[in-house]
Amino acid sequence: MSRADHDLDRRQLMESTARSLLGVSILPALGSLAQAQTQAAGSKKRRLIYLFMHGAMSHIDTFDPKPGTKAQGPTKTIKTKIPGIQFGEHLPKLAAMANQLAVIRSMNTATGAHGPGQYLMRTSYKQIATTRHPGMGSWLQKLMGRIHPDLPPSVHVGGGEGPGYLGAKFAPVPIGDPAKGLQNTRQPTYLLEGQFAQRMKLAGKFDQTFRSRATTAEVLGYDDLYREAISLLNSKDLAAFDITKESKVQQDKYGSSRFGKGCLLASRLIQHGVRYVEVTHRSWDMHRELSSTNNLPTRCLDLDNGLSALLTDLKSKGLLDETLVVVATEFGRKPNINQNAGRDHHPAAFSCVLAGAGIRSGQVYGETDEEAFHVADKDATPQDLNATIATALGLSIDKPIHSPDGRPFTIADKGKPIKELLA
């Protein structure tokens, strides 16, 4: 057996033993807490909330409508707080606070398939078999470190891209259902007071010989993992994951959807010192019956309620100036309505939105042609968006991180920050 195989088996054994000996099962999900490196930039307080519209949000029906054209289809348009700018009718709250947003209408990509498109948006790189690239949350952990001593630096609500070649210690903590928060955090009832600490002490004795011989960073990092996971279990800020702590009035502002609850959870986590939260909003892939109640109107209602409440909350608590909020999607949808009353994939043009830290709000950047088919001015790529995000957070887009095989990568590949959007 090779040393690598031995170390892997050892890791699996430790995970299994933790469940039976210590009576907890949170540890494997908290691999991101082990050896979370705090760089010089870790003193920065800026945070990122990344809202991903999974399935390809229609730009024409949301942030780039074309009133009076055949392309507009059944969706009506409404005025916004920015003179001369309109949104789709299903985003009234966001239209009323458009002066707090920066809308990019000139996004485009060469990727028209969901998986590769989502991967490119989240990592800045094309999906290839030989290398798995890290998502933005893992990049921020690596380059900026943690804010809170106990809470994880990054969290995914409903999915997202993992740590790739950065390794498990930079993996965001996954939350499946925001209404349930972080699972398996309660000490089992069969453990009497003091027994947990006794079991930890016993586990440490069992492991002394192995720790004296272990040489790989991943295995050595498990000591840190256990210590920090226990700190989280004992932290008063563990309640940050529980949205039921919010009043009913506050919960109602975000709406009853899973996405709305995810935005509420993101707000709580940011307030408590989590640096990165990604919330995925699914079911935007509307090839059929775009305007049926369960499709566009519902998806937009969720986005309108969730994002407007999130921005209002962050601003009222004085956190919007240090929290960047991004709305992204993998590509747009075609200007023509198909035979099934839906819109098909369209990578040639789509929209994204930014607000908060480092962003000059109240503007629209770029434009599409009269039917929203092609970008007509100020082309912007996924890499450019990610370069803008990184720059707004105070990061260098030129700082390389090397993969295990020695290849250098940067947070936005060859993307350039959009200077007009930066404050």
* The predicted structure's pLDDT at residue 35: 39
Domain spans of the chain, in order of start: 1-33+195-241, 38-181+243-421
Q: How far is CA 337 from CA 77, 349, 372, in A?
A: 17, 16, 13
* The predicted structure's pLDDT at residue 233: 67
> DSSP labels for 39-85?
-GGGG---EEEEEEETT---STTTTS--TTSGGGTT--EEE-SSTT-
| 296-316 and 258-272 helices, crossing angle to 10° | 20
CATH assignment of 38-181+243-421, given 3.40.50.300, 2.60.40.1180, 3.40.720.10, 2.40.30.10? 3.40.720.10
Residue 28 pLDDT > 70: no
* The predicted structure's pLDDT at residue 185: 62
Q: What is the DSSP letter of 192?
A: P
Q: What residues contact 146, with CB distance under 8 A and at least 6 apart?
A: 36, 38, 42, 152, 153, 273, 275
Q: What is the DSSP letter of 20?
A: I
For 325-356, how does the pLDDT look when each residue is reduced to its tens digit (9 = 90+)? 999 999 999 999 999 999 999 999 999 999 99
* The predicted structure's pLDDT at residue 230: 67
For 187-244, how does the pLDDT look when each residue is reduced to its tens digit (9 = 90+)? 666 666 676 667 767 777 777 777 677 666 555 555 655 666 666 666 778 999 999 9
